[in-house]
Amino acid sequence: MELPPPAETQCSPQETASNRMAALSRLPLFLSLRGGRCLVAGGSAAAAWKAELLSAAGARVEILAESPSPETVALAAAAPPSSEHGPVRLTRRAWTPSDLGGCALAVGAFADPGEGDRFLATAKEAGTIANLVDRAEASAVTFGSIVNRSPLVISVNSDGVAPLFGQAVRARIEALLPQGLAAWAATAKSWRERVKSLLAGRPARRRFWQAFMQEALEHPNRQGDQATLQRLLTQADSKGLEKKRGRITLVGSGPGDPELLTLRALRALQSAEVILYDDLVHPAVLDLARREARKLKAGKRGYGPSCKQIDINALLVEFADLGYDVVRLKGGDPMIFGRGGEELTAARAAGIPVEVVPGITAAQGAASRLAISLTHRDRAQRLQYVTAHAKSGRLPQEIDWCALADPTVTTAVYMPKHTLAELVSTAVAAGLDPETPALAMANATRREEFVLAAPIATLPERLAGRMPDGPMLVLIGHVFGELESVAPDHAASAAAAIAD
């Protein structure tokens, strides 16, 4: 996708390439075996299960076994469950090298490792890919734990080193995917060519399949019919006629841990064509975005080189005006000290559709990691969010210092790194008890999480010389009194907790 350079801004967003794929122990492939000949050498129960899988994939399966197990005999004697299954034939003899010629896939199940090695060598010489039961490390191909919603098929493979782990993951996926998705997947297959012929252009077709996916997930046990097809076609086509511009979605990425993203945020990231993201967005969140999306770093960070907010607004409008679906990705929640209001105003002024996907704000993330409630019937009847960073870069003059000194309130101070000492001294002078429990927390929910607990009056001094990198928050209030018995800096234990 070619994006022209922004014409009316002085902001030069830095494009971020998608991360390289991490190393794979095996390359997952889905092999078409329908009508092909497959050989299973060995008559154990495990061999019978592999033969059943091959038959389910439509292969013509030949089992060679001198002493077949009851499971093997029963499989060969039974009629195929459907016309989609391939036939299974049992021959009571040992395998020979000539049996491997012309096989699409060969499976061996042997008690003798030497015979297994000979089987693999013969298969390699014959140009046949082969698998040995219970010897994944030696096999050219392995079988995974399968979630069958055919034509939607998911396979989980642990390369043979942790089969129980793979089975547990498969069971979790089974629980998440309704059986009815198989019918929806089959419907998608039958509709694909018709949708392609009726909807001109990739954007319209993409809108159709996005709506189709949402329909399937919301109504998994209701099969798509012709009325559904016509309704989705009409919606996709009419939106294409009406939509002369793209759209903007403000998405909150939360404090850092990608598992704290909402499902709606994940869907927005996976459908975006352009993503403008802040410096505070954790790289692991970007890894969840659609790989084809253009990812542009357009951070707005104080006390350093960054894009001006007016230029970010212009970029959002310009890309959307060109017809792209744009995600503005922000740390925390876009509507809490994220300048989301200014970006909403710019989008609306330009007549561009805009929506907001909320995220977990830093104070909530910090409270979850500390396992402390920000409100308490006996200690805090109110919660307030305060910014320590004005538009000028200095401490805001509009802060209600009496509210900050209220002993029944919990205060979350955002962006306090450069103004904390002034904020504390002013608040104490306005009546804040200098012994009020407080803490500074940086990189909440991330592996590099940092926490320092101290009475509010001493917190700036305790932080001097050890100011952490990354987004920081200061929390003040009597709900944090129990932290006084905790070691001041438990970053290591917090990181261990995340790793666990």
Nearest to 373 by CA among 384, 385, 364, 360: 364
Q: How far is CA 434 from CA 172, 460, 478, in A?
A: 50, 12, 12
Give which of 333, 331, 361 is closest to 470, Cα–Cα.
331
Half-sphere exposure in the Cβ direction for 487 (13 Å, CA): 7
**The tokens of 33 are what?**
């075996």
278 is catalytic: yes
Region of residue 356 (phi > 0: left; psi between -120 and 50: alpha; otherwise: beta): beta
Specify whether the CB–CB gap between 375 and 381 falls below 8 A: yes
Decide if 117 is catalytic: no
- 3-class SS letters over 410-425: EEEEECCCCCHHHHHH
Q: Which of 257, 278, 311, 333 is catalytic?
A: 278
Length of the chain in terms of residues written? 500
Go through 240-269 and write b for each residue having 16 or more CB atoms within 10 A of its CB, e for each that does not. Answer: beeeebbbbbbbbbbbbbbebbbeebbbbb
Q: For the chain, first and last CA: distance in Å?
A: 40
Residue 167, class by beta-carbon neighbours within 10 Å (0-12 exposed, 13-18 middle, 19+ buried)?
Answer: middle
Active-site hit among 300, 321, 406, 433:
300
The three-state DSSP-derived secondary structure of 340-377 is: HHHHHHHHHHCCCCEEEECCCCHHHHHHHHHCCCCCEC
Please say whether the beta carbons of 380 and 410 come within 8 A: yes
Q: Any idea which residues carry the catalytic annotation?
A: 278, 300
